[in-house]
Amino acid sequence: MKKFLVRTSRFWFPLLASFLVVQISQARGAFGDELKIFTYSSPGIDWRDPNRLARTIVKNFTGRSGYPMGHVAVEVSCDATATEPAFRQATGMTDAKKSEARTFLLLKGGGLGALFHSFQGRMQSTDEVDTDNAVEKSKGGNMRYIAYDISASTCRRLATYLTEYRENKVYTRYGLPNSPRHAEGAGCSAFGVSLVELAGLLTSDLKAAWSMNIAAPAKLVGGPMTGKRVSLLSLLIRSKKNRRWAESGEAQFGVFFYEPDLIFKWIGARIDEEVANPSGRFEIERQGKVIGMRIDARNVSTPKEPIWWVQP
């Protein structure tokens, strides 16, 4: 009987602890100045080599996933002040034409050039993000989030960035390597992480945990960068050319980027750790069937550096 109680307590205690923390945080209903980062998982992307990457992407795009490559969106909410009205905007970077990437790969022979190409982009509307989130909250499993409580001055800094990003149409360029604060446009993840950076919350550990570096062999890169055609079929059929990324000394193009699935998994791992060994570094909360973490960053100083590295 004693062994049974020990075994069952090992199972039920973490579950009960999770339930209690979630319910307390849900009841807390934190309001005020905040930044939320929403991450939506892909069905799975295999980055081990170009062939596996191409195969999983084709599989994802022919399936029913809402986000075949994963996705990141944000929400900034600022309380009204004596001089400024309340502000709320939920948005994310995405492609303006769903057919453009397919055309680039299938008809233009872009190959791995798709990793470096700037497609036509747009910003999601608040209603669009809210609708996506409502769906995820009802079914769960594919979305997690980080909610940062921030200072009023930091919140207004983020609001200014979003406003200027939209007014200057920086969103028209949608690409994996693009740097949003250099006014180059962005992929969805780079855009989302840029707000964490602007709030002074992007540590070196987070940058390393959420990002990837890959080196694409130049011979597999088609499109404007090389003027070559690289068929999608040449990536899908496994060969010596596509079973590895570029090696040192080989002609190559490198790309650094933030990856939605890495952020999604990181949030899940931190929550699991907190349930198993509570530290009090953040609160765990639930919205419907979606779980997230709330971090109190109100005492983090608002960065003094410029919002834009290159003025749009």
- The per-residue pLDDT for range 124-157, each reduced to its tens digit, is 999 999 999 999 999 988 999 999 999 999 999 9
CA pair distance 268, 148, nearest whole angstrom: 16
Domain-located, residue 170: yes
- pLDDT (0 to 100) of residue 62: 87
Position 309 in a domain = no
Which domain, by its residues, includes 176? 2-296
**Taking 50 as the threshold, does the pLDDT of residue 267 lie above it?**
yes
In a domain, 304, yes or no: no
Instruction: Read off the pTM.
Output: 0.90
- Mutual orientation of helices 188-198 and 260-276 as an angle, nearest 10°? 50
- pLDDT digits over 194-238, tens only? 999 999 999 999 999 999 999 999 999 999 999 999 999 999 999
Q: Per the structure, how many domains does the chain have?
A: 1
Instruction: For residue 14, count other CB atoms closer than 10 A to its CB.
Output: 14
Q: Is the residue at 55 inside a domain?
A: yes
Q: Average pLDDT, whole number, for the chain?
A: 91
- pLDDT tens, residue by residue, 15-40: 444 444 444 344 333 458 999 999 99
In this prediction, residue 140 carries a pLDDT of: 85
Q: Is residue 62 part of a domain?
A: yes
Residue 230 resides in a domain: yes
On the question of pLDDT at 5 being above 50, the answer is no
Q: Are 188 and 260 in contact (CB under 8 A)?
A: yes
Flag whether 310 is in a domain.
Answer: no
Which pLDDT score is estimated for 141?
87
pLDDT at residue 31, as a whole number: 53
What letter would DSSP give residue 247?
A: P
- Cα 157 to its chain centre, rounded Å, is 20
User: 143-149 and 290-296: which strand pairing?
Assistant: parallel
The order of strands in the sheet holding 71-78 is 87-91, 71-78, 34-40, 143-149, 290-296, 283-287
φ, ψ of residue 78 to 5 degrees: the values are -120, 135
Whether residue 307 lies inside any domain: the answer is no
